[in-house]
Structure 1
């Protein structure tokens, strides 16, 4: 009788859980090691499911806005002075990634992964009886005028070329869908096929319950290093004990690069620390996720209130949350909804695992047998989690997922 491989998934965030869910559905009984880090990105994100978001962050138009954002203490991008020297190498790679051929290649790779995201999320939630977690009312980008919309033209056109359906609205069209939006916003781009998750924390719990139901295990534990026998993985060392494994899936989010470095694989993984403010009684409920282009935030209706999420703070994994950055989000929210009630608002900070080209690391390592990558989804962790789980589990099981892992290789750097 053929023995099933011992599969250990490092990371209990939404990406690792979706990989484990698909492995468990195939009868492979994975073990998920969850370090339960307090600032993992899974629970506090904006909840966007944006399968058409194929434009990488490093777009030429975005780069022209970076100096202005850095000079503005309340801007969407912040790098503390103490972290500048450490951030420079990543920023240099980010700038180089904005070259047109690299942008096109990144968009093609992201499109190949994300196009099936809505169906893959429905697949999991239908099986778990939790389809109420998904709201399919589209998303909307808000603009003050045509000139502001023109700044996003390259990214919007790239998305359109990759099949994203969008509708350009004037003020009347905008107000018909979102009448409470401030009159200063006179234009919008409506993405009817995008959706959102109304509770990312509950989404993670539902997927985790499914893993257990199908024979997988989720255990608390922090991976300290990957154990090897020659060029092949043999297990994982945790703070408590060694865990044997024939296959290790590295899905530890922003902490993943630390486990690859001892293997001689240097991945330029940076945390773009994001914040949210959660309002339990905002007094306004948009029908869908809204994103004001001048504010670079997402305003998300959740099942337990209104969430405004955003900000990019490059400050590493170890610095404590910056409450000032979180409170700035309330000003962004008031720009869209001037009469919003912020009483009882609570803050959160999480680590987005970001790579300079916005393309996650997926698939097997070439230089070490039995190690698979599933990290670096950046601002698209929820979106990319379900399709990542499907293609990785299929490949690990020995089936052909009809998916090209080459553009996602961790060794491409």
Structure 2
């Protein structure tokens, strides 16, 4: 590469921000562009969990049995509206195929490489920016009704444990020792002592953005309509109709990334799994750590601005308006864990677009068919967790020293 290459990063979500930060730190001339301000899209509303041990893919063996429920249960943790069935079916079919036991092992190994040292990478950025207070280190607590309920997730926990996740199975007394206000509905817990969380994802994104500018990077507001090419090389992007040229482009546009790749003849089965959250400024209860009722897959997370209840998965594309009924389910999830919680004053519900691929692996690395183009999107439910390690790996792959990690499992070519 050039001594000081011009690198355009498309997308100012947390993945794009971390990628731009590491690239700027290594001396690149970085420009970051997004239609919204840094972190103001999906990254502002995540559950806050930093889960470096989450190596189990969403598609685990036996997932085929769950698909009818996904299609038919409007209150299920994962819901697909009837109108969206035809659009979702190809993605779901790929998703089911990825649940083969041997493939699950491959995916877990790749995620273990990508997420290794995730929290340390976040702390590396925040220490440089003087904002270590953004990460809390009190672990995460998963709640189960009883031992039989926990047994349904045995395969996923075993996979995580095999890749080094430290976990403790707790009885009811153990749960109360950590979180004394949890309802009697839950009698078994899984405590992950070394998994932290962000106390304010939007502030975290803005801190990283300031760091990029401190190191000489530019952050622009604008809408990217297309990648520009010359010969068979990507040369930049059209931003509000004006070409913005660069030596290299990093595509980190989240759920919108596939639309920018399609004109280059690259098809990616990227789906928006729409997630919601509700913020309670004065809930009357405040856990010390993210609490996760495993039957609902919702995260109840203490943050600077109150208590955030985040979760649910809804297929529906990037254009349909939010579904208030899905957001309302989060208050039902909260009531199962904290029936005494005060929901008055709840802020209007929020919805964001998680960019998900059927194999639970993001697309990270160079696009072999189009020199000059690199990808960093599709992190799904692990966007915050995977953002800092992705940025570090990508910067090393682009600028050196060459990383030890093999990016082949994350290549866009796997969908050819």
- Please give the root-mean-square deviation of Cα atoms over the aligned residues, in Å: 1.4
- Which secondary structure does the structure 2 equivalent of 1:42 belong to? helix
The answer to whether the aligner puts 1:399 opposite 2:398 as a matched pair is no
Distance 1:108 1:251 in 2: 23
Please give the residue correspondences for 1:3-402 in structure 2 after superposition, counting only pairs within 5 Å. 4-36=4-36, 40-346=41-347, 347-402=349-404
Contact 1:223 1:238 in 2 (8 A): yes
- Which secondary structure does the structure 2 equivalent of 1:268 belong to? coil
> How many angstroms does 1:69 deviate by?
4.2
What is the TM-score when the length of structure 2 is the normalising length?
0.97
Q: Alpha-carbon deviations, 1:200-222, whole Å to 9, x = none?
A: 00010000000000000100112
Distance 2:326 2:159 in 1: 31
Distance 1:58 1:394 in 2: 30
More deviation in 26-35 or 127-136? 26-35
> How many angstroms does 1:52 deviate by?
0.2
Contact 1:198 1:301 in 2 (8 A): yes
Distance 1:231 1:240 in 2: 21
Distance 1:148 1:194 in 2: 22
> How many angstroms does 1:389 deviate by?
0.5
Distance 1:117 1:146 in 2: 30
Contact 2:9 2:33 in 1 (8 A): yes
- Which secondary structure does the structure 1 equivalent of 2:284 belong to? coil
> How many angstroms does 1:39 deviate by?
8.0
Distance 1:149 1:70 in 2: 24
> How many angstroms does 1:235 deviate by?
1.6
Q: Alpha-carbon deviations, 1:224-249, whole Å to 9, x = none?
A: 11111111122211224110111000
Contact 1:221 1:240 in 2 (8 A): no
Contact 1:171 1:187 in 2 (8 A): yes
Contact 1:61 1:152 in 2 (8 A): no
Distance 1:151 1:71 in 2: 21
> How many angstroms does 1:296 deviate by?
1.5
> How many angstroms does 1:293 deviate by?
1.0
- Which secondary structure does the structure 2 equivalent of 1:295 belong to? coil
- Which secondary structure does the structure 1 equivalent of 2:107 belong to? helix
Contact 2:91 2:358 in 1 (8 A): yes
More deviation in 300-309 or 233-242? 233-242
Distance 1:320 1:254 in 2: 15
Gaps of 5+ in 2: none
Distance 2:25 2:240 in 1: 29
List structure 1 segments (4+ residues) > 4 angstroms apart after TM superposition. none
Contact 2:335 2:341 in 1 (8 A): yes
Q: Alpha-carbon deviations, 1:358-405, whole Å to 9, x = none?
A: 000000011010100000000000000000010101111132111101
Contact 2:63 2:96 in 1 (8 A): no
Gaps of 5+ in 1: none
1:392 to 1:230, Cα distance in 2 relative to 1, 3 A: same
More deviation in 219-228 or 13-22? 219-228
Aligned length: 413
> How many angstroms does 1:63 deviate by?
4.1
More deviation in 87-96 or 224-233? 224-233
Contact 1:140 1:288 in 2 (8 A): yes
> How many angstroms does 1:409 deviate by?
0.3
1:59 to 1:39, Cα distance in 2 relative to 1, 3 A: farther
Distance 1:61 1:119 in 2: 34
Distance 1:279 1:71 in 2: 30
> How many angstroms does 1:132 deviate by?
0.5
Distance 1:210 1:72 in 2: 45
> How many angstroms does 1:60 deviate by?
2.0
